[in-house]
Structure 1
Amino acid sequence: MIVNNSLDEVKKRENALAIIKNIVNTKGRDALFDLTGLSGGFIASSSEISLLETYVGPAIFEDALQEAGKEHMGGEKVLAVNRTSSGILATILALAGENSNVVHYLAELPAHPSIPRSCKLVGANYFETDVFEEFSIPENTSLVVITGSTMDHKVIDEDEFRKVIKMAHDKNIPVMVDDASGARLRTVVFNQQKACDLGADIAITSTDKLMPGPRGGLMAGRKDLIDQIKIKVNQFGLEAQPPAVLAMLNGIKNFKEDNLIKSFTRKDDLYELLSERFNNFVKSPTGVMISPESLSKEIDIPHNLSDNDLAFVFSFILLKDYGIITIPPVSMPGASATIRFELSSPDAFDLDLKDLNKKIEASFDKLLDVIANEEKCREIVFSF
């Protein structure tokens, strides 16, 4: 095993960021290709930046974010937080009591780790399932959670979405939707309704996922619940600061649905190219991906690496040799190690897919060359 625990995941990420910095300093930003779908951005004019003071910034930009956020997410009120995980934590702190039950339905396990971790922190009992027939709401349930689109972009069925909301509301239990990428993926690509329009009480999205905003979270929903959650947000310093609020506002304003739709069609071209050599890549809604388990099936050379380790080594080779950023090198502890090539990323808009395919193949060939040497693999992941 190469990556054994959360500390290893932190060190792995630190090394990836050092590699990215070196590429920018020596070759320039154009030598990097961020295909994570999380590239985000910070759009701001010089006149807007001049207003980013501690109290002036919120006074100017938070009202505008209310209007833009409600249009983007639905709901009665929005709340900006410093990360989606922060909003999830604040919601569970506000709504889930000790020894109460939190039940979660999603299209495919596992849930984002911030949800069970937050429940553990408050002493709530947590249950999750991706089998609709097995989903139930026991007595003493304080919160029902739905994931709109999983970490690997598996999208929930809208009929099941509605049924879970109804089940909860029949028992007067609030529903929180983790719609990190789903707020755009579900609505634009799959033509589903916004979570709040489907009846969710609270929905939260990541403002850097599939849109040109900063790393942050934007919550929307019932005013009374947003106000309760806002108390916890302010008590624990989870609120988004003025620069992030401004960038969220401009990220929403500059979000273009056509970019997602274009990636939805281009993924077929990349998939066909990869399928000439590989058997286990699959299409995502806006790109192509391979899970650690599927990557392992592509390899017939004896080795001692775990499936996740294979994904880490492969993705670090892509980064070091070709400047291709995928999620595993830069992810936070507990995130999925699936390697996604997201064509919705700005760096992918004009990318030559044949050239990308060649770089993926060459990186895989290098993986095969080093896979039997665990120390060499460790060096690739942890050594700058």
Structure 2
Amino acid sequence: MNAPFHLPSVDKLLQHPHTATLLSAYGKTQTTQAIRSAVAEARIQWLGSKNAAATPNAETLIAAACQALAQRFAPRLKSVFNLTGTVLHTNLGRALLPQEAIDAVAQALATPSNLEYDLATGGRGDRDDLVEDLICELTGAEAATIVNNNAAAVLLCLSTLTAGREAIVSRGELVEIGGAFRIPDIMQRAGATLVEVGTTNRTHARDYENAISDATALLMKVHCSNYAISGFTKSVSDAEVTQIAHAHQLPMMVDLGSGTLVDLRQWDLPHEVTVRETIEAGADLVTFSGDKLLGGPQAGIIVGRKALIAQIKKNPLKRALRVGKLTLAALEPTLRLYLHPEQLATRLTTLRLFTRTEQEMQAQADQLQPALQTTLGSAYQVSTAAMSSQIGSGALPVESLPSYGLMIRPTERKHSGRQLQQLETAMRSLARPIIGRLQDDALWLDLRCLEHTDQATFIAQLSALTTILSHHHERHSA
């Protein structure tokens, strides 16, 4: 006959000295629930095994409750190491904010602010006023307004200017952005009738001319930042389309997508058309993102003619799509950095990552390789290797940046695919997950986004990686 099964009561466990820390951290309601669940789980396991020797003591039950509480209250949004080689990685949060923006957001979180309060008059203010002058100075536009992302910016412009009328766009510019979000779908939601002109690879000025009718509301150009067509191609410049539009008293709108405020060639980076260049080409409205090449928070920025911006701001959708104080708090100091071009490459985090030298990353790889090799042992071979980074988020899709990092291959070719999957999973299980990329039968860790300030944390986690991998091995061996 089995010995009797005895578990401590929930009340007794709540009075245990080890529970005091849980009560302080999580409160009585959550701690009681966790302990009750731990006791119930222990009872279910005993009924399945009928093994009285396996009866957990109070410390074991409290430890189980502690683990459950820690998991429940752990943040879902975690800091990770982005070693994918994609700097503006959409799934990993895109641009990292400069320190000036981080400090401004912290202050906006902690204190009231003049978000919509005019300090000069004591009356109601316009939240766009906090950044409009800066944006106009940096772009050459007459006016500006801000919404929550570039897709919203495009939607708002089209809803205001083309509802019930036609918008003319080159067939080669009907792009799809992330998450199967397509320009034609946005136009349909805005109430515009899409008129496609030209072909996928060639569009001529006469195609725009021939499509204009009494129902035309505007001509639109879409900067194809997330793909490129090569070979037998023809497109019409912004300036040419502007001339055609203005000859018919129509506005011309440009969706720049990523959008940059400076000529990247001064840092030996590939050229991307700037917002100022687009305004100078005659565009009446330009939309672009705040969290891509600009290096700020997620936002959609609309710049252009003052009369058109005023019309857009009266659209009821503007309130639904407007940004909050945290976005504006982060955007203003980010924009101010552009007023100091000689310091931009060091102070703007995104640009600093773009401009890291291959030699700097190679030296970093040489420092990290021995530690990672020691952690992984003889089962893996860790080597330093030249790599290619990309800017990401649809910007300059065919351009790459010379980079350097660590390449990890299983020592034995047999089951190497499974080993790499296990290693990738283990790295994603760390307190600060390491996200690399699997390619060519290896796990690549591109170091472009691993700044020296984070290197110590990266190394400190390696001991935990050993434990996780051993648990994986035990499960597969069982």
TM bucket normalised to smaller: 0.5 to 0.7
- Cα deviation code 1:152-178 (max 9, x no counterpart): 488999982322222222222211111
Q: Quick check: 1:117 aligned with 2:200?
A: no
Q: What's the offset of the Cα at 1:68?
A: 1.1
Aligned residue for 2:271? 190
Compute the displacement of 1:196 (Å). 1.2
Query: Is 1:273 aligned with 2:386?
Result: yes
Structure 2 counterpart of 1:166: 243
| C-alpha contact (below 8 Å) 2:203/2:236 kept by paired residues | no
**Structure with higher RCO (Cα < 8 A, 6+ apart):** 1
2:279 match: secondary structure: coil
Structure 1 partner of 2:336: 253
Give the TM-score, by structure 2 length.
0.48
Give the match for residue 292 of structure 2.
209
2:266 paired with 1:179: no
CA contact (8 A) 2:387 2:446 kept: no
Match in the other structure for 1:66: 132
Q: Distance in 2 between matches of 1:318 and 1:214?
A: 31
Aligned to 2:102: 43
1:290-335 per-position Cα deviation (integer Å, ceiling 9, x unaligned):
xxxxxxxxxxxxxxxxxxxxxxx9xx97984763389xxxxxxxxx
How far the C-alpha of 1:206 sits from its partner, in A, is: 0.7
Would you say the 8 A contact 1:204–1:219 is kept in 2? yes
Alpha-carbon distance change, 146 to 227 in structure 1, aligned in 2, over 3 angstroms: same
* CA drift at 1:90: 0.9
Q: Check conservation: 1:180, 1:204, Cα contact below 8 A.
A: yes
Q: Partner residue of 1:263?
A: 354
Q: Where do 5+ consecutive residues of structure 1 fail to align?
A: 1-17, 276-281, 290-312, 327-340, 356-384
Tell me, yes or no, if the aligned pair for 2:108 and 2:325 is still in contact at 8 Å: no
Tell me if the contact between 1:286 and 1:343 (Cα under 8 Å) persists in the aligned partners: no
Work out whether residues 107 and 157 of structure 1, in 8 Å CA contact, stay in contact via their aligned partners in 2.
no
Unaligned runs of at least 5 residues, structure 2: 1-71, 89-93, 119-123, 363-384, 389-395, 404-420, 438-444, 459-478
The residue that corresponds to 1:238 in the other structure is: 321
Mapped pair 1:55 → 2:116: yes
Distance in 2 (alpha carbons) for counterparts of 1:174 and 1:165: 8
Out of 153, 166, 190, the position equivalent to 1:101 is: 166
- Which structure has the larger Rg over C-alpha atoms? 2
Q: Distance in 2 between the 1:147 and 1:342 partners?
A: 32
Distance in 2 (alpha carbons) for counterparts of 1:21 and 1:157: 50
Which residue identity lines up with residue 251 of structure 2 in the other structure? P
Q: TM-score, normalised by structure 1?
A: 0.58
- Matched pairs, number: 282
Cα pair distance change 1:187/1:167, threshold 3 Å: farther
For residues 178 and 123 of structure 1, do their structure 2 counterparts lie closer, same or farther at Cα, with a shift above 3 Å needed?
closer
How far apart in 2 are the matches of 1:158 and 1:187?
A: 23
Partners of 1:318 and 1:107 lie apart in 2 by 43
Q: Distance in 2 between matches of 1:208 and 1:342?
A: 22
User: 1:134, CA displacement in angstroms?
Assistant: 4.4
Q: For 1:105 and 1:319, how far apart are their aligned partners in 2?
A: 45
CA distance in 2, matches of 1:126, 1:343: 45
Q: Identify the residue that residue 201 of structure 2 maps to in structure 1.
A: 131
- Identity %, equivalent residues: 17
Counterpart of 1:237 in 2: which secondary structure? helix
After superposition, the Cα gap between the structure-2 partners of 1:323 and 1:47, relative to the gap in structure 1 and judged at 3 Å, is: closer
Structure 1 position 142, deviation (Å)? 1.5
- Looking at structure 2, the residues matched to 254 and 132 of structure 1 have their Cα atoms a distance apart, in angstroms, of 39
* Inter-CA distance 78–242: structure 2 relative to 1 (3 Å threshold): same
Residues in 2 aligned to 1:123 and 1:108: alpha-carbon distance in whole angstroms: 16
Correspondent of 1:92 among 152, 155, 158: 158
Q: Are the counterparts in 2 of residues 73 and 196 from structure 1 also a CA contact under 8 Å?
A: yes
| Contact 2:257–2:287 (CA under 8 A) maintained in structure 1 | yes
Q: CA deviation at 1:89?
A: 0.7
Q: How far apart in 2 are the matches of 1:343 and 1:61?
A: 39
Report the CA distance shift for 1:125/1:106 in structure 2 as closer, same or farther (over 3 A): closer
Q: CA deviation at 1:78?
A: 0.7
- State the 1:348 CA deviation: 5.2
Q: What does residue 148 of structure 1 align with?
A: 223
- Please give the alpha-carbon distance, in whole angstroms, between the structure 2 residues aligned to 1:21 and 1:168: 51
